[in-house]
Amino acid sequence: MAAHTSTDTKLVTDLSQKAREIRLNVLDMVYTVQSGHIGGSFSEAELIAALYFHILRLRPDNPKWPDRDRFILSKGHACPALYAALAMRGFYALDELKTLRQFGSILQGHPVIKTPGIDMTTGSLGIGMAIAVGMAIDAKRISRKGFDVFTLLGDGEINEGVVWEAAQTANKYALDNLVAIVDRNRIQNDGFSDDIMPVEPIDKKFEAFGWHVLKIDGHDMGEVVGALESARDFRGKPVCIVAYTTKGKGVSFMEDDHYWHGKAPSEEQYARARSELMKGAIQ
């Protein structure tokens, strides 16, 4: 099912700019430390921007606010985009981004709970989905805090069986406070996801597990905002948003190339990539 598209042009424009800033920060971070995951961070930029600057109820000055919405980055290797958004929201100084993956840094190669704004440590693929289900059960049946839980998965990640165990659990407990987003960028570390292990039809699989499903262009901010708003307000079932995206989105030589799953750019590549992002050369 397609979601409605937001008609708030100012919001869409502002969030699109945030997504570009996220990509620029990711590029700077990974180039500076010569380590990190660019491709999947770029593909999720619109999703992260819409969540952190529009959807999620958060208090940067009180990261552990009990009534905050929760976000779990199940595809934990794509944390540079999340770290950039948290810094831009004021959870910590932007200068911290220069310490990515360094010894003693609060910004490790996968999210860790010691980082302000991170709700749970992730990295082992699939486990974030299960954690999100547990948090949603808590909000709905135990603490009854009433917060919403969002989790972002990679399309290669949904090969993990724990994802589907969690999906059927969410259905059993009618977790309509849970939104799972699949970043369908079609590429994982070793190549195209469907060559490694076919995953389609993703929508029909989640529907068979009792979920309400929305399909969107994950780079169309109007569709992203519309889907997230619809998912947040939907009641009766958990919601899955299948976001069709492009690995390495925004930089011509990185797009649709698994080489950029976890590769840092050279000085020349960095300059070219930054120029393209600044000019908005790739839409």
pLDDT tens track for 128-147: 999 999 999 999 999 999 99
| Among candidate residues 89, 166, 86, the one with its CA nearest the CA of residue 126 | 166
Give 252's contacts (C-beta < 8 A, 6+ positions apart): 276, 281, 282
pLDDT at 281: 46
What is the tens place of the pLDDT at every residue in 219-247?
Answer: 999 999 999 999 999 999 999 999 999 99
| Assessment of whether the complete model's pTM goes beyond 0.75 | yes
In degrees, to the nearest 5, what angle opens at C-alpha 10 toward C-alphas 254 and 240? 60
Over pLDDT 90: what percentage of the chain? 90
Q: Please tell us whether the domain made up of 9-279 is placed in CATH 3.40.50.970.
A: yes
Torsion sign (Cα): 260, 181, 279, 83: negative
Task: Enumerate the domain spans of the chain.
Answer: 9-279
Q: Over 60: is that where the pLDDT of 283 sits?
A: no
User: Above 70 in pLDDT, residue 2?
Assistant: no
Specify whether the CB–CB gap between 183 and 175 falls below 8 A: no
Tokens of 63: 């990261």
Distances (CA, A) of 58 to 28, 31, 102, 164: 26, 30, 27, 29
Q: What pLDDT, on a 0 to 100 scale, did the predictor assign at position 10?
A: 95
Looking up tokens 């039809």 gives 201
Please report the pLDDT score of residue 29 as a whole number.
95
The answer to whether residue 282 scores a pLDDT higher than 70 is: no
| 194 within 8 A of 146, measured Cβ to Cβ | no
Residues 6+ apart with CB under 8 A from 138: 145
CB-based contacts of 60, cutoff 8 Å, min separation 6? 89, 90, 91, 116, 117
> Which pLDDT tens digit goes with each residue over 49-79?
999 999 999 999 999 999 999 999 999 999 9
pLDDT at residue 279, rounded to an integer: 86
CB 36, CB 264: distance < 8 Å: yes
Determine the pLDDT at residue 153: 98
